Structure 1
Amino acid sequence: MDKNIIFSPKQLEVIYRPYDYTFDVLEGTPRSGKTTAAHFRLADYYSWCRDTNHLLVAYNQEQAYRLFIDGDGTGLMHIFDGLYDIKHDEHGSHLQLHTPTGIKKIYYKGGGKSNSVGAITGMSLGSVAFGEINLLHMDMIQECFRRTFAAQDRYHLADLNPPAPHHPVIKEVFEVQNTRWTHWTIQDNPIITEERKKEIYEILSKNPYLLQRDWFGKRVIPSGVIYSMFDLEKNVIPKLEGRKIEMYFSGDGGQGDATSIACNIVTRHQGKKRTYDYKLNRVAHYYHSGNDTGQVKAMSVYAKEIKKFILWCEKTYEMRRTEVFIDPACKSLREELHLLGISTSPANNNAHDVNGTSKGIEVGIERLQNAMTNEYFVLVEQENNEYDHYNFLKEVGMYMRDAKTGKPVDADNHSLDECRYSNNYFYKRYVL
């Protein structure tokens, strides 16, 4: 680990402030340095606290490890370099730290699903750190606070980008706990150069919503969010229900941009207005972004990983696929899949659709909006972290319209594009 890390005044204040609140919330823009401060704040706490067991929780276990333990080079494993082991016991995987006050077990778990709370039932914890707390299931959040009631040095920490002003985590968690809230912007990150700040500002300033949220770090009402009707209560179910009718895949590809492939299962149910109703169940998701990870993969590599994903889905759900729809613009991905024996068809990307005054992509958007509103479209919670819905859930709250033109902004839409493709097929085959 780099021993010459430069901290901003705000980072230093957060790391060394007294522990006179039981809950520190670090909320602000991406690239603001808040998570790095969280790493060192936690390391300080673990070094002196008297409790042995602690928890790191994010949407899934992989995210918990990435956000807190690795942390892009400043996480706990780097701070405690040479003083930790990765272990596993009856409570799960954990980072075992050797500290001046004895061994500390830092468990890391996923908390984004309805059954996540079962992973910590019966545990007694000294502290909990929440990564992207606004993406976690509320039952898991509340149970985490209960698990620390008997702690000797009770403490909690959360970081998040600004949620919508009405997000339940604000009233049900932040305003209930003994909370100290700290606001962050990109100005609080000492490693971001003035040149890079200018570049980021110029990008964000083109959209008033993004400027307020990702530059000023404000909670703003995302009036332009396209799929604002998506409901975490109504459009997410814990397990597949109904009679399975068909499995098919939909995909959109890129190298710098994300490659996104979803497994879709159509189920049949007793109808309300007709004999049978059908639902489009998004059960699993392959997603990789070269820009986000810094690792750009060749299309041949994507094709091999997608084939593995397809075969895993078929085995897991005991079905054979009928179709693999890929965006017609992704010719290279289709060719690579064909070489591996995976036949594909061009997805209906709405290029030629007209419905009243709506044309093109707007037709597909309206169809998917209706499917969400009428609960024909649902996410089925996925236990396999590699193929869960983390990236879809991040995009669905960010994909929006340009405030000036009213047209969809071509960003945060990779999984939503292929979701639209899958719904186009579902709509024409099972709804019309």
Structure 2
Amino acid sequence: MAENKFVRKRTIPFRFSEKHKDYIRACEACMYNVAEGAVRAGKTVDNIFAFAHELKTTPDRIHLATGSTMANAKLNIGDANGFGLEYIFRGQCHWGKYKDNEALFVKGPDTHGKQKIIIFAGGAKEDSYKKIRGNSYGMWIATEINLHHDNTIKEAFNRQLAAKRLKVFWDLNPDNPRATIYSDYIDKYQRQADAGGFPGGYNYMHCTIYDNINITQDRLREIESRYDKNSIWYLRDIKGMRVVANGLIYRRFADDTSTKQYTFRIPEKPKDIMEINLGIDFGGSSSGHSFTATAITRGYHNVVALASEWIGCKDEMGNQIEIDPETLGNRFCDFCQKIISRYGYITAVYADSAEQTLIAGIRSSLRKHGLGWVRVENALKIEINDRINATAILMAQGRFFYVGGECASLVNALSTAVWDPKELTKNVRLDDGTSDVDSLDSFEYTFERIISRLIKYG
């Protein structure tokens, strides 16, 4: 009987600069490996390559791959735009379930016929650690480790105690310099290694987008164009710097408004509208109710705020007042009628999911006003800083606009949004009642579901 031979049909086009090669070589001798740097710097691919190399010979059978979410881990580590584990081991692996966990099963010539299992899991939530319990892991590869909850990090380390070849591969974009991922882990390990007190070896690399030899100059300029050079996102994502957020969040917009240049303002109905989404944020003890209507143009090119409205929950003396659900529902129906009369339709409404009773009231009011066809869904409420970053990129690229005279509350909110100066370990938008975060939230709900289509990192 003839022996079956595994034949690779194509070669993955890996290209590494000398800096990246040095890091990958050091991974073989070191137990802990950390790659920190800008977007598109190549750090995740470095770790995947090194992890895959170790997977071929490690005596351990089960390993761990994590991201902020399980989907993020599969996308960035499993796929990685054609450079992920499923491509490195193509023809020798398949996706499946292992004890109810998503897993990549690898078995073939590269592993000498031995089965290796990589469990994929999310790590951002407080209880994420529960998904990775019950197994002993040999190696652990994590992308965006700074977005992992500390419970997940500690549990993963505990699960590696019985490893025959313990290996850790982390990558991250720069964060607040006082973030616990530095003080409790990365910088702490570096100090121990420098003092000769880190058994197993510690391998750290800092890289920027300029270290990635696969990025052409034209592509580099295109990526840089997405950012306001005065923003923390530019300093982090392009320059690879650890930066503390302070002051105005949208300085470019605030300056444009205060100097009355009005670059972001358009005088009339935008062209090529593809969908119109409405967002609702419900007020609390120190805030108000907010409605925003946003148009997305064809090809997910521009985001245009069509109208906004803010309803305060305090009287002129600063006393708390209650807006009854029926009144709120009637106000929202009036808002919807205004949008329909001017633009003809509404695609969907995304409302703050924390207030299901008020959402039910909104649906009831819509039916009473003959608008029962308007679809009301829960807002996703993704990470606030992801929403902020997307807004900042749209502004920097000249792809965010608002209709003049219709968005006063949103314009004021964007112009006055600031970072919380009291937060020292993480970057947090100030929400103490002194600025209108309600209008920001309702606006962000209208496009957060399509950020991946609006902002492509390629």
Q: Same fold, TM exceeding 0.5?
A: yes
Deviation readout 1:393-428 (Å, 9 max, x if unpaired): x9x8699xxxxxxxxxxxxxxx996515599xxxxx
Asked if 1:134 corresponds to 2:146, the answer is yes
Q: What is the deviation of 1:257?
A: 5.2
Runs of at least 5 residues in structure 1 that lack an aligned partner in the other structure:
228-241, 261-272, 279-301, 325-337, 374-393, 400-414, 424-432
Asked if 1:108 corresponds to 2:120, the answer is yes
1:139 counterpart SS class: helix
Find the counterpart in structure 2 of residue 30 from structure 1: 39
Cα separation, partners in 2 of 1:18 and 1:59, compared to 1, 3 Å: closer
Q: What is the deviation of 1:152?
A: 0.3
Find the counterpart in structure 1 of residue 161 from structure 2: 149
Give the aligned residue type for 1:74.
F
Cα separation, partners in 2 of 1:5 and 1:120, compared to 1, 3 Å: closer
Q: What is the deviation of 1:120?
A: 1.5
Q: What is the deviation of 1:196?
A: 2.8
1:102 counterpart SS class: coil
2:29 counterpart SS class: coil
Distance in 2, matches of 1:259 and 1:80, equals 44
Q: What is the deviation of 1:366?
A: 9.2
Distance in 1, matches of 2:134 and 2:409, equals 53
2:362 counterpart SS class: strand
Report if aligned partners of 2:413, 2:440 keep a CA contact under 8 Å in 1. no
Deviation readout 1:314-354 (Å, 9 max, x if unpaired): 9x999626169xxxxxxxxxxxxx8964389xxxx997799
Percent identity, aligned pairs only, is 25
Report if aligned partners of 1:10, 1:188 keep a CA contact under 8 Å in 2. yes
Find the counterpart in structure 2 of residue 322 from structure 1: 362
Report if aligned partners of 1:249, 1:321 keep a CA contact under 8 Å in 2. no
Q: What is the deviation of 1:205?
A: 7.2
Q: What is the deviation of 1:274?
A: 9.6
Correspondence list, 1:157-176, <5 A: 157-176=169-188
Report if aligned partners of 2:70, 2:120 keep a CA contact under 8 Å in 1. yes
Q: What is the deviation of 1:121?
A: 1.9
Q: What is the deviation of 1:10?
A: 2.5
Could you tell me which of 342, 351, 356 is aligned with 2:375? 342
Report if aligned partners of 2:143, 2:171 keep a CA contact under 8 Å in 1. yes
Give the aligned residue type for 1:10.
K
Distance in 2, matches of 1:365 and 1:52, equals 51
Distance in 2, matches of 1:340 and 1:125, equals 51
Correspondence list, 1:71-110, <5 A: 71-90=80-99, 92-98=101-107, 99-100=111-112, 102-110=114-122
2:118 counterpart SS class: strand
Cα separation, partners in 2 of 1:137 and 1:170, compared to 1, 3 Å: same
Distance in 1, matches of 2:99 and 2:28, equals 30
Find the counterpart in structure 2 of residue 405 from structure 1: none
Correspondence list, 1:178-327, <5 A: 178=198, 179-201=202-224, 204=227, 206-207=229-230, 209-224=232-247, 226=249, 252-254=294-296, 255-256=300-301, 303=347, 320=360, 322=362
Cα separation, partners in 2 of 1:121 and 1:274, compared to 1, 3 Å: farther
Distance in 2, matches of 1:319 and 1:205, equals 36
Report if aligned partners of 1:364, 1:420 keep a CA contact under 8 Å in 2. no
Could you tell me which of 413, 418, 431 is aligned with 1:364? 413
Give the aligned residue type for 2:217.
E
Could you tell me which of 413, 416, 419 is aligned with 2:441? 419
- Alignment length, in residue pairs? 312
Distance in 2, matches of 1:277 and 1:130, equals 46
Cα separation, partners in 2 of 1:248 and 1:111, compared to 1, 3 Å: farther
TM-score by length of 2: 0.56
1:146 counterpart SS class: helix
Distance in 2, matches of 1:156 and 1:41, equals 10
Find the counterpart in structure 1 of residue 391 from structure 2: none
Report if aligned partners of 1:14, 1:41 keep a CA contact under 8 Å in 2. no
Cα separation, partners in 2 of 1:64 and 1:248, compared to 1, 3 Å: farther
Report if aligned partners of 1:250, 1:419 keep a CA contact under 8 Å in 2. no
Distance in 2, matches of 1:95 and 1:317, equals 42
Q: What is the deviation of 1:136?
A: 1.1
Give the aligned residue type for 2:375.
I
Deviation readout 1:181-228 (Å, 9 max, x if unpaired): 10111122121112333454566573264443233312122224639x
Runs of at least 5 residues in structure 2 that lack an aligned partner in the other structure:
1-9, 190-197, 251-283, 306-317, 324-345, 365-370, 378-401, 431-436, 446-458
Report if aligned partners of 1:60, 1:111 keep a CA contact under 8 Å in 2. yes
Cα separation, partners in 2 of 1:91 and 1:10, compared to 1, 3 Å: farther
TM-score by length of 1: 0.59
Q: Which has the higher strand share?
A: 1
Cα separation, partners in 2 of 1:48 and 1:318, compared to 1, 3 Å: farther
Deviation readout 1:234-255 (Å, 9 max, x if unpaired): xxxxxxxx9xxxx998664532
Backbone CA RMSD of aligned residues: 4.8
Distance in 2, matches of 1:205 and 1:2, equals 38
